[in-house]
Amino acid sequence: MKNQEIARIFNEIADRLEIKGENLFRIRAYRRAALNVEGLPKNIEDVPEKELVKVPGIGRDLAGKIHEYLTSGKIQAYEELKNEMPKELLTLLSVPSLGPKTAKLLYDTLHVESLDELERLASEHKLAGLPGIKEKTEENILKGLATLKRGKERRPLGRVLPLAEDILGYLRKHAPVNNIDIAGSLRRRKDTIKDIDLLATSDRPAEAMKVFTRHPEVKEILAQGPTKSSIIINADLQVDLRVVPRESYGAALVYFTGSKAHNIRLREMAIRMGMKINEYGISRESDNRKLGGEREDDIYRILGLSYIPPELREDLGEIEAAAEGDLPHLVMPGDLKGDLHVHSKWSDGGNTFEQLVEAARELGYSYIAITDHSRGLAVAHGLTVERLMEQKREIQALNKKLRGFRILHGTEMDIRSDGRLDFPDSALRELDIVVASLHSGFRQSVQQLTYRMVSAMKNPYVSIVAHPTGRLIGERDAYELDMDEIFRVAGETGTALEINASPFRLDLNDISVRRAKEMGVAIVISTDTHATDQFGLMDYGVSVARRGWLEKKDILNTLPTDLLLKKLKPQSRRQAPAQSHR
């Protein structure tokens, strides 16, 4: 598909414009277009030229560039930009903490041309002393380089899962397989993935493998045998397919789903019970008699455990809980009743309220919260108080026409660098829901960053803090925050924390979610949708919640509208005047 290629080019154009110091709006337009083209649920080559402008974030200019690429294989403006500056400069800019100014400075003065060289110079303290570069800058560069390396080894779940499902669909259609499933970390829905592990049964394994190694995306065949084949696909990702006997399928699925730590615990448990588990089945030690292994559940049942969902298989207490019959009833995608973080055309989203409502209704939702950016975030066309009130009137009018659905009026309000909020209480009071988040000053001290979050949560109108740690998977680490303090204040003030379902964020992450729950913090799962087709990202957020042991009752947007509004801060606004604390 050309979608990813175009997205890559648009991102590179944005990078190059950034080095040139061009207009921020233009740069952002390219980045947004890249995101939307990549996330487009269909092949961009199938979109007729005239329809391209209907893709959110694609105006006439960018539609023209896409058409140019699809017809000629080139974009003139991009070729010109490429000639204007060396590629090495761009390499430097790929380091998360390195801005365009610093990148240019390093290139011009020290002629740094590679990341290895940059790493050497930074670790030898050869950079500090250049204009604007302090010791702390060197530290940040080294951290950024480490993040970058990790990002190359492991990809975000959201990049890998669609590729895996594509290959799975292809094999189901073209290869002689009976069962076939995704295993490994992907089945456990870890937030980052090293490779794709597939498991199948087949009556004609050799032929199944032949079909596999002829997938149109194959770049290299690493191995091809009747029980295991490995390929590298064009996205530079390894895919392994194993074919196992039908009577071992369940045992193999447990084995290759992992995690390794979980498997080791199961094996130890089996040994204590006089049994043996491997990828072929579970058997009695004394006479080697096979007790089961065709179905996954066999293994757990015979060990006296309830079935453990793949997302929990990390040896983080799930085996003990399964032994006690104490596993959580994990939240499921169908439990969600609405999305509480949605952008419209009023700020940097691509759709009208009507389009958003229609898409949300199709998913079976009862509500969405419109949370456009606030005035401080000019690059995202943040709303002034006047515009916010205008928006409120429009939403009220639309709500009168809707049956069985409600648009909640909200904001994604910027928490400023000094901890002050971007809107006064007099404006916040007018809203159904207030989502607050940080968009600047990520490199402040732990104290300052924590202070900003805490002061936002202490505001009586702030209902939710969005993408609390600010991480961008493989690109930017979480800010340095005192998370326990954040959870404590969230619990105390009744402020909910968001699991941002955007697959490049997944923020809070699984571990934080579990900790938040233990500390009595309410959670919401939201997509931060900027275009209607992004509503579907909710499932990634649900995966994080499941990995964090959350049940339906732990998540506020599983509630119907009236109960949701009762639970969301500020509760006082919606309850009878005499507050009862029950």
**Which residues would be at the binding site for ligand DGT (CB under 6 A)?**
184-185, 190, 193-195, 197, 255-256, 258-260, 263-264
What residues contact residue 390 under an 8 Å CB cut-off, 6+ apart? none
Is 134 or 260 the residue whose CB approaches ligand DGT more closely? 260
* Residue number with the smallest Cβ distance to ligand DGT: 258
Is 164 or 516 the residue whose CB approaches Ca ion more closely? 164
Residue at 109: amino acid letter:
T
Q: In angstroms, what is the minimal distance from the CB of 96 to ligand DGT?
A: 22
At residue 383, the 3 state secondary structure works out as strand
The stretches of 47-177 forming alpha helices (DSSP H) are 60-72, 76-84, 87-93, 100-105, 115-123, 135-153, 157-174
Q: In angstroms, what is the minimal distance from the CB of 257 to ligand DGT?
A: 6
- Percent of residues in the chain assigned helix, strand, coil, to nearest 5: 50, 15, 35
| Binding partner selected for residue 412 from ligand DGT, Zn ion, Ca ion, none, CB under the kind-specific 5 to 8 Å limit | Zn ion
Size of the site for Ca ion (CB under 5 A): 4
At residue 464, the 3 state secondary structure works out as strand
Phi, psi dihedrals of residue 423, rounded to the nearest 5°: -125, 145
Burial of residue 278 (CB within 10 Å: 0-12, 13-18, 19+) is: middle
Q: In angstroms, what is the minimal distance from the CB of 162 to ligand DGT?
A: 16
Binding to Zn ion by CB under 5 A, coded x per residue (else -) over 181-200, reads --------------------
- Residue 241 backbone zone (phi > 0: left; psi -120 to 50: alpha; other: beta): beta
Axis crossing angle, helix 76-84 with helix 2-20, rounded to the nearest 10: 40
| Binding partner selected for residue 158 from ligand DGT, Zn ion, Ca ion, none, CB under the kind-specific 5 to 8 Å limit | none
Q: In angstroms, what is the minimal distance from the CB of 501 to Zn ion?
A: 11
* Residue number with the smallest Cβ distance to Zn ion: 528
Query: In the set 39, 158, 184, 338, which binds Ca ion (CB under 5 A)?
Result: 184
Contact 188, 259 (CB under 8 A): yes
Is 256 or 365 the residue whose CB approaches ligand DGT more closely? 256
Query: In the set 197, 348, 372, 414, which binds Ca ion (CB under 5 A)?
Result: 197
Is 465 or 483 the residue whose CB approaches Zn ion more closely? 465
Report the site for Zn ion in 398-427 (rule: CB under 5 A).
412
Q: In angstroms, what is the minimal distance from the CB of 558 to ligand DGT?
A: 29
- How far from 433 is each of 404, 464, 527, 537, CA to CA, in Å? 19, 8, 16, 21
Contact flag: residue 18 with Zn ion (CB under 5 A): no
| Binding partner selected for residue 5 from Ca ion, ligand DGT, Zn ion, none, CB under the kind-specific 5 to 8 Å limit | none
- Token pair in block for residue 488: 């404590």
Rounded Cα–Cα distance for residues 477 and 144 (Å): 8
Rounded Cα–Cα distance for residues 297 and 281 (Å): 11
Contact flag: residue 144 with Ca ion (CB under 5 A): no
Size of the site for Zn ion (CB under 5 A): 2
Query: Quick one: which of 550, 575, 578 has its CA closest to 562?
Result: 575
| Binding partner selected for residue 310 from Ca ion, ligand DGT, Zn ion, none, CB under the kind-specific 5 to 8 Å limit | none
Q: In angstroms, what is the minimal distance from the CB of 267 to ligand DGT?
A: 7
Contact flag: residue 139 with Ca ion (CB under 5 A): no
Contact flag: residue 310 with Ca ion (CB under 5 A): no
Is 202 or 500 the residue whose CB approaches Zn ion more closely? 500
| Binding partner selected for residue 264 from Ca ion, Zn ion, ligand DGT, none, CB under the kind-specific 5 to 8 Å limit | ligand DGT
| Binding partner selected for residue 263 from ligand DGT, Ca ion, Zn ion, none, CB under the kind-specific 5 to 8 Å limit | ligand DGT
Is 31 or 189 the residue whose CB approaches ligand DGT more closely? 189
- How far from 564 is each of 163, 287, 309, 499, 524, CA to CA, in Å? 36, 58, 28, 17, 10
Q: Rounded to the nearest 10 degrees, how much is the dihedral formed by the CA atoms of 43, 44, 49, 50? A: 80
Q: In angstroms, what is the minimal distance from the CB of 235 to ligand DGT?
A: 15
Contact flag: residue 314 with Ca ion (CB under 5 A): no
Q: In the Cβ-directed half-sphere of 396, how many Cα atoms lie within 13 Å?
A: 9
Binding to Zn ion by CB under 5 A, coded x per residue (else -) over 523-562, reads -----x----------------------------------
**Range in contact with Ca ion (rule: CB under 5 A) among 19-27, 184-192, 296-304, 451-459:** 184-192
Is 231 or 464 the residue whose CB approaches Zn ion more closely? 464
| Binding partner selected for residue 260 from Zn ion, Ca ion, ligand DGT, none, CB under the kind-specific 5 to 8 Å limit | ligand DGT
Query: Quick one: which of 329, 251, 39, 294 has its CA closest to 156?
Result: 39
| Residues listed for the chain | 582
Query: Quick one: which of 437, 431, 442, 486 has its CA closest to 466?
Result: 437
List residues near Ca ion by CB under 5 A.
Answer: 184-185, 195, 197
List residues near Zn ion by CB under 5 A.
Answer: 412, 528
